[in-house]
Amino acid sequence: MNLPVKKWLFVLGCLSLLFAGAEAQQAGYILNKLQSATAKSGKVQISQSESIKKVLDLHLQAKRKEVKNNGWRICVFADSGQEANRKAEGVRSVFISRFQKVQPYKIFNYPFYRVYVGDFRTKSEALKFLKMLEAEFPNAYIVPDVIAPLGLN
């Protein structure tokens, strides 16, 4: 490999790392895409040591954990007092028995215990699910929250 190509690959690698913070979930995809051949373009061969690959993977994993996904959840229970924890666990159990595919979250934020359900990306998704809950949880309401990233819940 001649020197100009090495410099180009180094610059490309640096640019990829610079944008990794904002595009942490796509950086691994970009490297794979660069190395794959397509009908109208050539194939880029990226040579790097295993230690560089490990460091990049660790960086991407850390960035994925930092990613905050703003979305919506539905609060199906909120109460305080001596029995609130037990009641919250009961509501959570009832919810799990009826809606196995939707994740419930029991949260304690002094002095309230709350049970939130779902990881909705849009408010309209949350509203549709809220309509399904009205009969069993008449006091449920939608709240904005940081939701679990897709595929990690």
Q: Is 53 inside any structural domain? A: yes
Looking at the structure, tell me whether residues 141 and 88 fall in a common domain.
Answer: yes
pLDDT in tens, 103-117: 999 999 999 999 999
Question: Domain ends where: 50, 66, 82?
Answer: 66
Domain span at residue 109 reads 69-147
Global pTM value = 0.57
What is the per-residue pLDDT across 3-22, written as a single tens digit (0 to 9) for each? 566 665 666 665 555 454 44
- pLDDT over 50 (residue 64): yes
Same domain assignment for residues 58 and 75: no
Choosing from 66, 95, 118, the residue where a domain stops is: 66
Same domain, 24 and 62: yes
Task: Quote the number of domains for the chain.
Answer: 2
The yes-or-no verdict on residue 151 having pLDDT over 90 is no
Whether residue 153 is contained in a domain is answered as: no
What is the SS3 string spanning the chain?
CCHHHHHHHHHHHHHHHHCCCCCHHHHHHHHHHHHCCECCECCCCCCCCHHHHHHHHHHHHHHHHHCCEEEEEEEEEEEECCCHHHHHHHHHHHHHHHCCCCCEEEEEECCEEEEEEEEECCHHHHHHHHHHHCCCCCCCEEEEEEECCCCCC
One domain, residues 15 and 73: no
